[in-house]
Amino acid sequence: MPRQLDSSGPAPEHAPVLVLASASPRRRQLLAWLGVPYQVVPAEVDERPLPGEAAGDLVLRLARAKAAAVA
């Protein structure tokens, strides 16, 4: 049976808070289940692949773009 944790409460002052640059409900669900404090800051990034772009290159480019957009 999966754990049911509520991460909506305040995190301890010393605990880092992960910034989730995605509006993905599944990622929020996973972080809450793990008890990881997080803040959702969706990044406005065009997620369409570039012509001929490999999947690995796409995910790396999107991760970098989203991190830069919310930093």
Average pLDDT of adjacent 10-residue blocks, the chain of 71 residues? 49 77 92 92 95 98 95 88
pLDDT of residue 23: 87
Does any domain span residue 41? yes
Count of structural domains, the chain: 1
Contact 21, 68 (CB under 8 A): no
pLDDT of residue 34: 93
Does any domain span residue 6? no
35 Ramachandran zone, left/alpha/beta (phi>0; psi -120 to 50): left
pLDDT of residue 16: 83
Does any domain span residue 42? yes
pLDDT of residue 26: 95
Does any domain span residue 39? yes
Q: Print the domain residue range for 64.
A: 18-70
Pair type for strands 38-40 and 18-20: parallel
How much is the pTM?
Answer: 0.68
Does any domain span residue 65? yes
Does any domain span residue 12? no
Does any domain span residue 49? yes
How is 25-67 classified by DSSP, letter by letter? Answer: HHHHHHHHHHT--EEE-------PPPTT--HHHHHHHHHHHHH
